[in-house]
Amino acid sequence: MVRNRDNLPRAFDEVRFGPERTLNLRPLQPTATQAIKQVEQWLRLMQVQGAKEVLLITGRGNQSIDRYSPVREAVVRLLPSLRRRNVISGYLEHTPGSFVVEPASMAALFDVPKRRRERSSAPVESASPASLAALEPETVRQLRELAALTLAGLGVHAPSAAVLRDEMQHQFSLLTAGIPAGHDQEAVLQQAIQRAAEEFER
């Protein structure tokens, strides 16, 4: 019996990553634009869930006439951007059509030097706390505690109510970027807040 040489590496990948930590774009056949959006949202969700490493399968364009994969090239351009934005901490080519990606810690989203550069380019007044009004009181409490921790890391130990609200809004925007809509969306948000707070307190 002749065995397919691709089966063994695939079996090892299934054991190493499992379906919950694998995104296979090939059967989905997205456009390059769709792939960028889907990959970023998925990697942000993996970051929220605390995944250590994930497998991203893009394919290598074998089915195209010129053996060129626009999806793979779009992902190749996206990954460095996600690393600069602290969504991922690293990545490497696993096969010609896949990448192993390491999601960054939740605390990395609030990187102090990066936050200072971002704050200088966007006025504080642009953030509105209105989107926090629909949250459960417990979620708001957790966000407030996390905001106090991150501000203390920036050297602000006695923030005003306005600064604290702005920080809460900023965190809310960052943390919810990777959480898909659904009935358990707020529960996932609470998990993300708790994980970030635990990482700050280490």
Written as six digits, the tokens of 24 are: 């296979």
Whole-prediction pTM: 0.70
How many other CB atoms are there within 10 angstroms of residue 176's CB atom? Answer: 18
What mean pLDDT comes out for the span 11-22?
Answer: 84
Spatial separation of the C-alpha atoms in residues 48 and 58, rounded to whole Å: 22
C-alpha 164/C-alpha 147 separation (Å) is 6
Q: Would you state the pLDDT for residue 63?
A: 59
More confident residue, 151 or 127: 151
DSSP state of 6: T
Please report the pLDDT score of residue 61 as a whole number. Answer: 62
pLDDT value for 163: 93
Contact 178, 161 (CB under 8 A): no
Domains belonging to the chain, first-starting first, are: 7-103 (3.30.1370.110), 107-201 (no CATH)
pLDDT value for 180: 73
User: Maximum Cα–Cα distance for the chain, whole Å?
Assistant: 73
Token representation of residue 106: 């939740």
